[in-house]
Chains A and B, each alone.
Chain A
Amino acid sequence: MCASPGENAPVRLSRRESEVAGLVAQGLTNREIATRLFLSERTVDGHLEHVREKLGVNTRAQIAAWVVRQDVKGIAAASVEPISRPTPRGRLVAHPRLWVATALVLALLAAGVGLLRLTAPPGPMIRTIAGISSANSYPGGDYKGDHDYAINAALSWPSDVAVGPDGEVYIADFGNSVVRKIGTDGIITTVAGGGSDPPVDRAIATEVSIGFASNIAVDSSRDLYLLTDLAGDLEVWMVAPDSFMSFVVSLGHSSNRYMQANWNTPVGGLAVTSDRTLFIADRAENRVWKLGFGAKTPTLYAGTGEAGALGDLGPATSAQLDWPTGLALGQNGDLFIADTQNDRIRRVDGLRGTITTFARGANLLIPFGLAFRSDGALFIADTGHNQVLEILPSGGIMTVAGTGSDGLSGDGGRANDAELSGPEGVVFDGKGKLLVADGGNHRVRQVTGLP
C-alpha cells in the first residue's frame, strides 16, 4: 500500500482547474464537464492534464479522492448550485452611496487593467495560416481546398514545413500522403502525391503515390526533396519546379515498416545545404546519412544503428542515437539532430565529425523538429510538451509557443497562451516568422514578433 500522491505537498490549482477537479469528483465525464462549464472538451482535457500533473496523479479516481481529502466541497458546489440562489435581503438594501463607491472602484480597476494591457509588451503572436480542421476531428482532417486560400484548406497531420527561396511554403501533409504548397499569394496547391502508382523517374509528381512522406526540404534551386517510406524502403525523391520527379537515394529496407500509418510519427528527418548536400535521418534504424550533390551512395554521418545515448565527445559514427528525426544545419556547418527518444538535441561538429549533446533536460520530451533562425538561434518543436522552444545563447531554454497543454486555442493572441497539439516540423520564413506544423491540430501555425 502506498501513500496517495500529492498528499502532503501543497498544491495550487487554478480556479478553472479546481472547478474541473470538483466536477470529476462528482463523476461527470469530460463531455459533461465541458457542457457544464461552457468549454470545449479539449480544453477540459487540458485542465485535467494540469490537474494530474500538479497533483501527481493519473486517474480520475485519484483526483476525486484528492478533492474529498481537501474538503473542497465549495469548489465542486460552485458550479452545480442553482444560479438563482436567493440573495440575502441585507445586501439588496445597501445604501446607494455604497453602490456608487463600488462602481467607482471597479471603473478604476478596469482602467488600470486596460492600461497594463496597453503598456505590456505584446510578445510573440500566433495564428493559423493553413488548415481548417480541429484536433477534435480525429482521425484527421480530410483532403480538400486546393486552389483556394490555404486558410480554407483541410490538412491531415502536417508533419513538416519548408520554405522555398521565393517565400513559398511547403507542407508535408502526412495524413493525406501529399505535399502541398502555399504560394506567395496565399493559394494552396498539391505539388506531390495524390496518385496511386509508385513514383518513377520523370513521373509527374501529382500523378503518383508518395507513400509515407513525412519530411521535406527545399534547396536554392526550388527543388523539393521528400523523405518517404515506400513499401518498407526509406527513400528520398526530388520534385523539380516543373513537377517531374527524380529518384535521389534509397536507404534500403527500414524498420519504419513496423510502424506504418501512424500519422503522428515521422519516418525520419531531412536537411539540405546551400551546396545541395543532403542529410537524412533514418528514425527507425537510428542513423543519420550524408549524401553529396550528385552522389549515388550515402555515407554514414552519425549513429551506429543501435538505440542508445552513448558516444558523446567521440566520432558521431560511433555514437548511439535513439529515433533521430528533425535535422537542422547551423551557420558553421554543424548538424543538429533531434534525438527524439533520448529527449536531447545532439550536435555533430561539421569539421571534426564529433558528437555532443547540445540540449537536454526536463524541458525536452520527444522533440521532433528543429529550425535555425538567421541569427543562429535554434528553435525546437518539443512535441511531447506541445510547445516550441528556443535555445538561448546562455544555454537556457525559453518557451516561445504553447502552454504545454494539448489542444487548439489561441489564434490571434500570444503564442505562449496558445495551445498546440503535438507540433512536429518547424521552419523560419525569410521574414523571421516561425512556421509550425501543428500535427494534431491539422494546421500550420505562424508565430510572429519573436524577440
Chain B
Amino acid sequence: MKVTTLAALLVLTQVMTACQSPPPNPSGDEIVIASDLAITSPATADFAVPLQQAIELAVRQQGKIGRFRLTYLSLDDSLGAAVSQAKGVHNVRRMISDPRVLGMIGPANSNTVYAEIPVANASDFVMLSPSTTNVCVTLPVPYCSPQPKELRAKGPSNYFRIAPPDSIQGRALARYVVGNLNVRSVAAFNELPGGGDLILDSFTDELVRLGGALVVRQDLAHGTTGFTSFLAEARAKNAQAIYAVNGAGKDHVCVAAAQAASEFPGGVYFLGTDAIAGDDGCIKDALNNADGMIVTVPDVDSTQSHDPAVDKMVQAYRNTYPWTSFGIDTYIFAAYDCARLLIDAISRAVQATGGAIPTRKQVLEAVAHTQQFKGVTGTYSFDSNGDAISPLMSLYKVENGKWVFKDKIDASANPT
C-alpha cells in the first residue's frame, strides 16, 4: 500500500465517526438521518455512492444536535441490478419504523419517488431530494398522472427538492442567451412531448419578456436525423440560435448542429438541455460544429465555485473521498446541501421543543419553513410545492471537443 494512501486512510479513520447502521439505542439520545439511494446497482452505483458519501460527511461534520448524537442510516434501493420501487418503499417503511429516524435524503430516481412519497406522507416523514428533476413530482401540470396532490393524501407536501424541475431549464437558458450572447431570435424543435413543451414554454416566456422571439417552434419525431427543412425555415426567419429539446436516450438531435453548417454559413448558436450534456455521442453527431454548443444542467457543480467557504467544503470532501471523480450531473454537493438543510431543520425543531426530540411533523414543518438556507450549491427556501424558490442551473459549453462548465444561472421566477 502506498504511504500516501495509507496516511489518507489513517486520517479518514480518525475522522470517521458517523456510522450508517446505528445500533439499537433505547436510551433515546440519538437522532438518525437516513438515505435511500441505489448504491449497489451496477447502473447507478457510480452516481449514488458519492451522494451517500456527501451525506455521510455532512452528518459526521455535525456530530451532534443539541444533546443528541447524530448518525446516518444508509439504505440501498437496488434490486435485480436496478433501482427498485419495491426496495425503496421497503426502505422507507424501515426508516419510519425506527423512531430515531427523523428524515431522509433521496431517492435519486423520480420513479421511486412516486412510490415512496405516499408512504412517507402518511407518516409526516420528510424527504429531501438532491437530484430528482421530473416536473410531475411537485408541479400540478395537466398532463401529469398522478397529480402531486394524489401522492400526498394526508395533506402538505413532505417532499422537497433543491434540484430545479426540468421545465425551468428553458427559462435559465433564455436568460443566458439574451444576457450573454445578445441572441434575440431563436428557432426550436422538440422531440419530447409533454416535458419538452414545458421547457419550451418557459424558454419562450422568458425570451419574450427579455425582448426576444421564438421564430420557429416545431415538434419532431423522437430519433429524427433529417433537420434540413426545419433549419431552412429557421434560416428564413433569421434565427440566431437553434434550441434542441429532447429526452434522454437514443436521440440524434446534435445531427442538427452538423447540418446547420450548410444552412448557416455564418454560424448559429446550438442550444440544448441536460439530455445531451456531457454526451460525447452528441459531440460526434455534431461533426465539426460541436464547439460552441451550450446546454443547461439542473445541478450546481461546487468544484467550480470561487467562494472560499464552498472551496473549504469541497476540499473536505476531496480529502475524505479522494477517489471520487466529479463531472456533469453528479449532484454530490446537492446531496451534501440536502443533508445540511435537514440537519438545520432538525436543529431548529429541537430548539423549538426546548431541547427535546421533535416529532416528525415538527421536522417536516421546520423544513417547509426553511428560510434562505445558505448551502454550497445555493441559498434555499421552499415554495408550497416543495420546490426551491431560488434554484440555480449550470451552463456547460463544448470547447475543443469537450464539455466544460461555463456559468451558474439563477433560474428562479423572480431573480434578484
B-binding residues in A (CB < 8 A): 1-5, 25-30, 41-42, 45, 48-49, 56-62, 64-65, 67-69, 73, 76-77, 80, 135-136, 138-139, 157, 232, 255, 257-265, 307, 323, 340-341, 365-366, 368, 383-384, 386, 406, 421-424, 439-441
Q: Given A3-B19, A5-B19, A138 and B82 touching (CB < 8 A)?
A: yes
Could you tell me if B80 and A406 are in contact, using CB atoms closer than 8 angstroms?
yes
Docked Cα-Cα span, A264 to B44, in Å, equals: 15
Give 30 CB contacts A-B under 8 Å.
A1-B17, A2-B23, A3-B23, A5-B23, A26-B2, A27-B323, A42-B42, A58-B20, A58-B21, A58-B52, A58-B74, A58-B76, A60-B53, A61-B56, A61-B320, A65-B16, A73-B1, A73-B6, A77-B1, A139-B43, A323-B89, A341-B93, A366-B87, A368-B86, A384-B79, A386-B80, A421-B81, A422-B81, A440-B80, A440-B82
CB-CB contacts below 8 Å: B41-64 with A: 41-43, 45-46, 49, 52-53, 56, 63-64
Are A64 and B85 in contact, with the CB atoms below 8 A? no
Residues from chain B with Cβ under 8 Å of A259 in the complex:
85, 111, 114-115
Whether A59 lies near B74 (C-beta < 8 A) is yes
Considering the complex, give the chain B residue whose CB is closest to the CB of A140. Answer: B82
Contact of A48 with B40 in the complex, beta carbons under 8 Å: yes
Cβ-defined contact, A27 with B19, below 8 A: no
Residues 130-171 of B at the A interface (beta carbon under 8 Å): 145-146, 150-151
Specify the chain A residue showing the minimal Cβ separation from B89: A341
Q: State whether A258 touches B118 (Cβ < 8 A).
A: yes
Tell me if B5 counts as interface (CB < 8 A to partner A): yes
A-contact 0/1 string along B384-400, CB 8 Å cutoff: 00000000000000000
Per DSSP, chain B at the interface is: mixed
Q: Does residue B22 face the partner (Cβ distance < 8 Å to A)? A: yes
Alpha-carbon distance A257/B5, docked complex (angstroms): 49
- The distance in angstroms between the C-alpha atoms of A323 and B115, with both chains bound, is 12
Q: Which of B7-15, B212-220, B284-292, B368-376 makes up part of the contact surface? A: B7-15
Across the interface, B86 reaches (CB within 8 A) one of A5, A135, A366, namely: A366
With both chains docked as a complex, state the minimum distance between the C-beta of B64 and any C-beta of chain A, in angstroms.
7
Shortest beta-carbon distance from B80 to chain A in Å? 2
> Within 8 Å CB of B45, what residues of A?
30, 45
Question: Is B79 in contact with A61, judged by CB distance below 8 angstroms?
Answer: no
Total A-B pairs, Cβ < 8 A: 173
Q: Please determine whether B85 and A59 come into contact, CB atoms closer than 8 angstroms.
A: no
Q: Does B322 contact A (CB under 8 A)?
A: yes
Residues of B contacting A26 with CB < 8 Å? 1-2, 5
Q: Give the residue name and chain of the B residue nearest to A42 (CB).
A: B42
Closest to A6 in B: B21
B321 CB-CB contact with A under 8 Å: yes
Residue of A nearest to B43 (CB): A138
Chain B minimum-CB-distance residue to A442: B81
In the bound complex, residues from chain A placing their C-beta under 8 Å from that of B30 are 2
User: A307 vs B146: C-alpha distance in the bound complex, in angstroms?
Assistant: 19
Instruction: Choose one: A61, A257, A265; the contact of B84 (CB below 8 Å).
Output: A265
Q: Which of B45, B82, B87 has the most CB of A within 10 A?
A: B82
- Min Cβ gap B23→A in Å is 8
Q: Assuming A323-B89, A366-B86, is B80 touching A61 (CB within 8 A)?
A: no
With both chains docked as a complex, state the minimum distance between the C-beta of B413 and any C-beta of chain A, in angstroms: 28
Task: Tell me if B9 and A25 are in contact (CB < 8 A).
Answer: yes
Please determine whether B20 and A257 come into contact, CB atoms closer than 8 angstroms. Answer: no
> With a CB–CB cut-off of 8 A, which chain A residues contact B85?
259, 262, 265
Q: Please state if A406 and B81 are interface contacts (CB–CB under 8 Å).
A: yes
Provide the residues of chain A in CB contact with B151, threshold 8 Å. Answer: 258
Query: In the bound complex, what is the Cα–Cα distance between A80 and B18 (angstroms)?
Result: 30
* Complex CA–CA separation, A264 to B39 (angstroms): 17
Closest residue of chain B to A260 (Cβ to Cβ) is B111
Q: Does B362 contact A (CB under 8 A)?
A: no
**B90→A422 contact, CB < 8 A:** no
Judging by beta carbons under 8 Å apart, are B6 and A68 in contact? yes
A366, B90: Cβ atoms closer than 8 Å: yes
Collect the chain B residues with CB atoms within 8 Å of residue A307's CB.
Answer: 119
Given known contacts A257-B145, A264-B79, A383 and B86 CB-to-CB distance under 8 angstroms:
yes
Taking the nearest CB of chain A, how far is it from the CB of B213, in angstroms?
37
| Residue of B42, B84, B85 ringed by the most chain A CB atoms within 10 A | B42
Report A177 CB to chain B, min CB distance, Å: 17
Q: Mark B301-338, 1 if CB is under 8 A from A, else 0.
A: 00000000000000000001111000000000000000
